[in-house]
Structure 1
Amino acid sequence: MFKWFKDKIAKNGTEETPSVEENKSEEIIEGEKEDVVENIEESISEDVELRENDLEEIEEEVETTTTEEDLKDDFDKVKVESVEEVVEEKEDKAEEKVSLFQRLKQGLSKTRHEMGVKINTVLGAYVKIDDEMLEDLEDILISADIGMKTTMQLIDNLRDTIIEEKINDPSLVKDLLKKEVKKLMNEDLPTEISEEKPTVILVVGVNGVGKTTTIGKLSNKLKMKDKKVIIAAGDTFRAAAIDQLKTWGDRAGVDVISHKEGADPAAVIFDGISAAKSRNCDILICDTAGRLHNKVNLMQELEKINRIIDREYSEANRETLLVLDATTGQNAMNQAKTFMEVTELSGIVLTKLDGTAKGGVVIALQSELQIPIKLVGVGEGIDDLQEFNMDSFIDAIFD
């Protein structure tokens, strides 16, 4: 109001001395101004006091009412969200497991037809269990390259179980056979590859079995698990082996340590170990020559490589994986026995299972040699190298 009065005087342009009445009006205005300011201050003070009182009441209410029920509700809410996350995670893992099983089953379709379908046909043709039926089963198992020794043992064990449990229904025989296969393969064998830091994986096998491909796929598999991997191209004898390994290294996003063709393989492994240490890698994968004139040369080369690893990387976990081609059937068994003589094997990688009806060799390898099958190749894709699961394998070939 005072501002308005001053503006009005300025507008009229008067420069006369204010009269007594005007002075009184100005005093009144000043008084009103002070009253307004005082009222505002009182109002603010009251509002602050009310807010402080409200805050105290809220704090008291929180202390008395939220310590149990409200907090429990919040906890239950978090708990429900956690359970939902766990359920989603389990569902994702279940879907992945089903996907892997379906790929395995598809890859073993030829073996399944050779074993599972024929076994179902034979069992469906008999109304009771007799020696003739068991002989037919024996022929089927041998044709799937399970091998004579393993097949005879399976049939003998199956016969004993049938007699012991007094089973007469042929439809029950397949489940019994699956159980006997599982017993022979020894489910207690360790099928997981060491992934602890640091680990050295020495990959051995003859030329043509898929060593280079296996190393590339294994590198990719480990890289997907956030492992830092380096490959040492120790197969310096086979033409183009180094270039092929580099190509796989590029696909998997993994560094490859290499020398020129014809160089000393042990020197390559030495440099690989040095690189793994300096770059703080988790896993070093070492390729080796597939064929060195004869078994004596092969033994000497592998012994030299093992000495280098023992001396330069003694703190590392060790894996020696033998790569075998499943399409070669019982010849794979002979290769395994040869390599067992020259080096200590920790596991077997079986490739090309998707292209053979002789997948029964898996049963023979693990049951007769007691070396675990750790990985199986069921396709040509970079993701088609799977961890071996005995139950899934048996279900895939018999169902």
Structure 2
Amino acid sequence: MTHTLTPTADLATDIEDVARLLTPDGERIADPDLDRWVEDVDASVLRGLYRDMVLVRRIDTEGVALQRQGQLALWPPCHGQEATQVGTARALRADDFAFPSYRETGVVHVRGAQPADFVLAWRGEEHSTYNPYDINTAPQQIIIGAQSLHAVGYAMGVQRDGTDQVSVAYFGDGASSQGDVNEAMVFASSYRAPIVFVCTNNHWAISEPVTVQAKYPIAGRAPGFGIPSMRVDGNDVLACLAAMRWALDHARRGNGPAFIEAVTYRMGPHTTSDDPTRYRDKDEVETWRRRDPIARLEALLRAQGEFDDDFAASVEADADALARAVREAAMNATTREPLTVLDHVYAEPHSAIDEQRAWFGAYLDGFASTEAGGEGEAR
């Protein structure tokens, strides 16, 4: 199912070597590998996908704003990657299990996360993430590529349980160079584990371009492990939905793992601590801005007569409400006292914890003395 094995040369043009169902202008086109997987998709489904992407972008915008205002320690923007995340996640069954990276805000949204779930972890609050079993989604992993091994382990457990659930590992192009991802693919292939690997190729691993990670399409690596793969336009939500349905069907039927490379672009910084203007060309960014996934689907819906002012207003109202709830969750969070980080480390009292508590308490007292205008100095 791999669409290309040609070298990745120009970052601005390699998007043409992908499978797609919607052109950047929103025109519906045919694809022999994808069409049959979306035969049931009607205007109602398309409007739902549009709404999802708008809401995800609004969550992302709010996350950046909250970090800039000092309410969050960090935020990993996903602007531009909404189609990859929403399209693949909407193909999942409720009992499938997703293993996202830190940037998959859209996957977590689709799986049912609540407003507080998007922000409290980035504040470092206690119990700040969702219960994974409430939404069948693991906590977002910040260690690059580690979730791929977790996902394969879960898939092998499913296999032994005799169910037809599928596990999904999400990771980026940079993570494809990590040993964890490659080891995960070895295990998945060897044991024919029911897992889908979704590689979001957003062209940048922090400041390193994808051409440093691979001279050929990343999807071309999977067949070397005995895993069929597909390379799709990651800004085409319909193609992402179709590709994921293919991959899930393959895994669910007991045929082993499948691999998707979704070619998209990280429009913002790697995280809010990054300045992409130091290493990216503004013309490249503008080229990708014209391939916006939300505008693309809007163009299709308008051409079908399925997008009007009332629909736009309802989506905007939903986005406003969600953004307000996300902001309130962050602003109203109750932060525990710093010393409580040492509570419950051991089941019984422990002298080492007592020593650390004393040291940490003295350290914190230094800040209090400084703020009060005393002679104390934080060490």
Above 0.5 in TM-score?
no
TM-score, scaled relative to structure 2: 0.29
Q: Which has the higher contact order (CA 8 A, sep 6+)?
A: 2
Work out which of the two has the higher radius of gyration on C-alpha atoms and give 1 or 2. Answer: 1
